[in-house]
Chains A and B, each alone.
Chain A
Amino acid sequence: METFILTIITAATPLLIAAIGELVVERSGVLNLGVEGMMVMGAVSGFGAALLTGWPLLGLVAAILAGTLMALIFGVLTLTFAANQVATGLALTIFGLGLSGLVGESLVGLPGAKLQPLYLPFLTDIPHVGRILFGQDIVVYLSIALVAGVSYVLFRTRLGLIIRAIGNNHDSAHALGFDVVAARYACVAFGGACAGLAGGYLSLAYTPQWVENMTAGRGWIALALVVFASWWPWRLAVGAYLFGTVMILGLEAQARGIDLPPQALAALPYLMTILVLVLMSGTRILTRASAPANLGQPFIPDR
């Protein structure tokens, strides 16, 4: 049971981190489909930096920086030059996958430095729950803190109000004197940082190695989670953990020889997550109310 839960946590954490970043981006009215690309750049940069310096923590910093830089490319194109966000996001993913393969060519096949889990004397040794509560690596705790932080900032602070206002109606927000483009830049950068961190988690903790395309579609799952969680941070956490749980349960069932087609088991996490999150979002009016009204629309200041 303990290993089961530990496996779920490592599977859910990268999804959660990438998704919470994208949630903020979308709340500000920007749709960045480049999560996969930023994530994979985070993975290669994090791995490379950790290998060069021997410090996995520095690797995480490098991963965050790489993700942010990628996001800023997206920002310049879509915010400054008001390019189409969908097309730019897709291009960012393709670009990230290609570039990471190029810069990571010499890193393939090298065993890297692994981010060590936390160890607190006594606390970590508590049977059954010690390793789950006190024996994770710092990124896991950070992911929970991020959800709490984002939830607080978005709904309890003036800054959050501004972000949501910009996402819902950028013209009104602009008329009120808020700098729409600057706020969106900040949100996009935050989203990139999170995606980069999620990528770094993959190459430093989840499977400490660099191989091309190692994100294997996790960026897209994160994007889907944001929508199905109807842009609510805590729902997102539920969704990510549910996805991880059902995925690991599917593997458990297979290894126990339970007679279900593995293709169905592989599809189950997606189905379950969609189902539960749709049920959770309750009435359709509520869902529509939480979707940022100006999502994906370019903003061109008129003066």
Chain B
Amino acid sequence: MKRLVLVLLLALCTGAGALQAADKLKVGFIYVGPVGDFGWSHQHDQARQALQRALEGKVETTYLENVSDGPDADRAIERLARDGCGLIFTTSFGFMDATVKVAKRFPDVKFEHATGYKRAPNLSTYAARFYEGRYIIGQIAARMSKTGIAGYIVSFPIPEVVAGINSFMLGAQSINPNFKVKIIWVSSWYDPGKEADAAKVLIGQGADIMVQHTDSTAPLQIAEERHIHGFGQASDMIKFAPHAQLTAITDHWNDYYIARAKAVLDGTWKSTDTWEGIGGGMVVMAPFTNMPDDVKAMAEATTSKIASGALHPFTGPITRQDGTTAGEPGKPLPDPEILKMSWYVKGIDDKLP
């Protein structure tokens, strides 16, 4: 008897599931951090909520947070696919191979992988040109720093992070050719304590500008405490550092997510490679604060030049750390080279791990 009831219940559940799947598009998200990190994953989740609101009644969203990069990702993505998701966003570089694998197993499900470069007929990639914002903050840093040294806290040596450091440095060098950057790799996207420790160490060694490519607000809070300046990451962190934050490079995925879900609903979804920057609205600079008017004017001018395409941070020729050059004179570096960047520009004393 018990077993019969169970079977009936199961049948009911799956039946209901199938019915639901038929009239609504289920959209799944995989986050590398907690939605409450107030950084990278937070912004993706904001966009998920925007998608839910914009296509109310047509889509149903679900997410898995705190999914680590390794074999766990494989299972997490597969779980969403088995749960009946028709569209799945995997929102960290480290999910790349897992997404490719699962996409092969579920040819009818559409996949979207953020910041990667491997595509398939049912797997798109999308990313934001964060390096554009980093050029701007590099210029601001060079103008605002008294010691001429910035502290830069980074996670892992993936191309996006390396390109960010280079773009920052090129921006800074356009103002002060002797600008120095001290780099600490904390080997984590998210460890507030360790990020705070790294910030303290960098300040102790003379850095008076704090830059981060990690996801917590801790470095900026230390900057506030020690009366220096810094930049927010992924979301506007001004509340944590009202006197320290100069600006923040924020991600806006809302429009993209809504457009892609609509495309699936219309049946027009195709595997694409999207890479938008300030011009396309995926990267938005938070208000320029805590700086003199002339620095602000410079930052705004650079922002609009980058948005219009008049200025490209990686315009050749770029001198690499080892003295060789990259890119053709007067032309921007081709996108594939930026997406696979694994070298430092001249003037950075660190060595790539």
Residues of A within 8 A of B (CB): 3-4, 6-7, 10-11, 14, 101, 104-105, 108-111, 202, 206-214, 216-218, 247-248, 251-252, 254-257, 259, 261-263, 266
Complex CA distance for A216 and B191, rounded to whole angstroms: 6
Complex CA distance for A257 and B42, rounded to whole angstroms: 32
Is B221 an interface position by the 8 A CB rule?
yes
Complex CA distance for A213 and B190, rounded to whole angstroms: 9
Minimum distance in angstroms from B216 CB to a CB of chain A: 6
Specify which chain B residues have a CB less than 8 angstroms from the CB of A266 in the assembled complex. Answer: 185-187
Minimum distance in angstroms from A153 CB to a CB of chain B: 29
Q: Are B349 and A104 in contact (CB under 8 A)?
A: no
Q: Decide: A211 near B192, CB < 8 A? Known: A4-B204, A110-B239, A262-B187.
A: yes
Q: Which of A206, A209, A261 has the most CB of B within 10 A?
A: A209
Q: Are A211 and B36 in contact (CB under 8 A)?
A: yes
Specify which chain B residues have a CB less than 8 angstroms from the CB of A108 in the assembled complex. Answer: 36, 38, 42
Q: Are B196 and A206 in contact (CB under 8 A)?
A: yes
Is B20 an interface position by the 8 A CB rule?
no
Specify which chain A residues have a CB less than 8 angstroms from the CB of B207 in the assembled complex. Answer: 255
Minimum distance in angstroms from A40 CB to a CB of chain B: 11
Complex CA distance for A11 and B218, rounded to whole angstroms: 14
Minimum distance in angstroms from A99 CB to a CB of chain B: 13
Specify which chain B residues have a CB less than 8 angstroms from the CB of A3 in the assembled complex. Answer: 200, 203-204
Is B312 an interface position by the 8 A CB rule?
no
Q: Are B191 and A262 in contact (CB under 8 A)?
A: no
Is B247 an interface position by the 8 A CB rule?
no
Q: Are A255 and B218 in contact (CB under 8 A)?
A: no
Q: Are B36 and A206 in contact (CB under 8 A)?
A: no
Q: Count A-B contacts at CB 8 Å.
A: 119
Q: Which of A6, A104, A109, A257 has the most CB of B within 10 A?
A: A109
Q: Are A212 and B193 in contact (CB under 8 A)?
A: no
Q: Are B193 and A255 in contact (CB under 8 A)?
A: no
Specify which chain B residues have a CB less than 8 angstroms from the CB of A255 in the assembled complex. Answer: 151, 182-184, 198, 201-202, 205, 207
Complex A-B, nearest 10 residue pairs according to Cβ-Cβ distance, in ascending order: A212-B34, A262-B185, A212-B36, A108-B36, A216-B191, A207-B192, A207-B218, A3-B204, A251-B201, A255-B182
Is B108 an interface position by the 8 A CB rule?
no
Complex CA distance for A101 and B267, rounded to whole angstroms: 37
Q: Are B216 and A207 in contact (CB under 8 A)?
A: yes
Interface residue total, chain B, C-beta cutoff 8 A: 42
A–B Cβ pairs within 8 angstroms, 5 of them: A111-B221, A211-B37, A211-B38, A213-B33, A252-B204
Complex CA distance for A266 and B351, rounded to whole angstroms: 16
Residue of A nearest to B237 (CB): A109
Is B72 an interface position by the 8 A CB rule?
no
Specify which chain A residues have a CB less than 8 angstroms from the CB of B326 in the assembled complex. Answer: none
Q: Are A216 and B188 in contact (CB under 8 A)?
A: yes
Is B258 an interface position by the 8 A CB rule?
no
Complex CA distance for A10 and B198, rounded to whole angstroms: 12
Minimum distance in angstroms from B259 CB to a CB of chain A: 27
Complex CA distance for A87 and B222, rounded to whole angstroms: 38
Interface residues in B215-267 by Cβ distance below 8 A to A read: 216-218, 221, 239-240
Q: Are B202 and A209 in contact (CB under 8 A)?
A: no
Q: Are A257 and B191 in contact (CB under 8 A)?
A: no
Specify which chain B residues have a CB less than 8 angstroms from the CB of A247 in the assembled complex. Answer: 194, 197
A4-B201, A207-B195, A263-B187 known; 7 other A-B pairs, CB under 8 Å? A10-B197, A101-B36, A208-B221, A211-B216, A214-B216, A216-B191, A247-B197
Complex CA distance for A256 and B204, rounded to whole angstroms: 11
Specify which chain A residues have a CB less than 8 angstroms from the CB of B203 in the assembled complex. Answer: 3
Residue of A nearest to B242 (CB): A111
Complex CA distance for A112 and B323, rounded to whole angstroms: 47
Q: Are B191 and A212 in contact (CB under 8 A)?
A: no
Minimum distance in angstroms from B36 CB to a CB of chain A: 4
Is B328 an interface position by the 8 A CB rule?
no
Q: Which of B151, B182, B192, B201 is in CB contact (< 8 Å) with A209?
A: B192
Specify which chain A residues have a CB less than 8 angstroms from the CB of B185 in the assembled complex. Answer: 254, 262, 266
Q: Which of B66, B216, B240 is in CB contact (< 8 Å) with A111?
A: B240
Complex CA distance for A153 and B203, rounded to whole angstroms: 41
Q: Are B194 and A111 in contact (CB under 8 A)?
A: no
Is B353 an interface position by the 8 A CB rule?
yes
Minimum distance in angstroms from A142 CB to a CB of chain B: 19
Complex CA distance for A252 and B218, rounded to whole angstroms: 18
Q: Are B192 and A262 in contact (CB under 8 A)?
A: no
Q: Which of B37, B42, B196, B202 is in CB contact (< 8 Å) with A207?
A: B196
Specify which chain A residues have a CB less than 8 angstroms from the CB of B187 in the assembled complex. Answer: 262-263, 266
